[in-house]
């Protein structure tokens, strides 16, 4: 999604679009930065962030002003990546890589201070 939307965002889509922008950024991001794309009223964007923070889908970065994926969002993403269709493709690539380099290969996802 590039630039501000000209059409109103349905209420039931707002949280998903916000999560999509957090995931797309790849680094801690502020509500103001996300709202440059979504164009929601300031109270709405802060309410959405508050809800996602309270429910564990987002967490604050160390500085406390920006947000990044929380444990529930990481778990959701991990579940998608573990689906049988994606798992089969991933294992095929890992087996080829392992055979090519002669080492064991795994995929790890960051989870706070550790990897899963």
Question: What's the whole-number average pLDDT of the chain?
Answer: 86
pLDDT for residue 85: 72
Asked if residue 3 has pLDDT above 80, the reply is no
The CA dihedral of 1, 107, 113, 34, to the nearest 10 degrees, is 0
* Own/partner pairs, 109-115, CB within 8 angstroms, 24+ separation: 109/74, 109/77, 109/78, 109/81, 110/74, 111/71, 111/74, 112/71
Mean pLDDT, residues 54-64: 93
Question: What tens digit of pLDDT does each residue of 82-105 get?
Answer: 777 777 887 888 999 999 999 998
pLDDT for residue 115: 75
Domains of the chain, each with CATH number or no CATH: 11-70 (1.10.10.10), 82-115 (no CATH)
The tokens for 55 are 């429910």
CA 15 to chain centre: 12
Which whole-number Å values give the CA distances from 74 to 58, 82, 104, in the listed order?
Answer: 9, 12, 25
Q: Which residue has the higher pLDDT, 110 or 55?
A: 55
Mean pLDDT, residues 29-53: 94
Question: Full-prediction pTM beyond 0.95?
Answer: no
């Amino acid at each position: 999604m590039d630039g501000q939307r000209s059409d109103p965002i349905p209420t039931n889509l707002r949280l998903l679009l916000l999560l999509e922008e957090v995931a797309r950024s790849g680094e801690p991001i502020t509500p103001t930065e996300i709202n440059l794309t979504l164009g929601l009223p300031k109270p709405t964007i802060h309410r959405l962030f508050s809800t996602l923070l309270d429910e564990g889908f987002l967490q604050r970065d160390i500085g406390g002003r920006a947000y990044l994926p929380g444990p529930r969002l990481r778990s959701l993403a991990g579940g998608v990546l573990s689906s049988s269709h994606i798992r089969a493709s991933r294992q095929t690539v890992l087996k080829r890589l392992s055979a090519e380099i002669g080492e064991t290969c795994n995929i790890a996802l960051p989870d706070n201070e550790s990897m899963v």
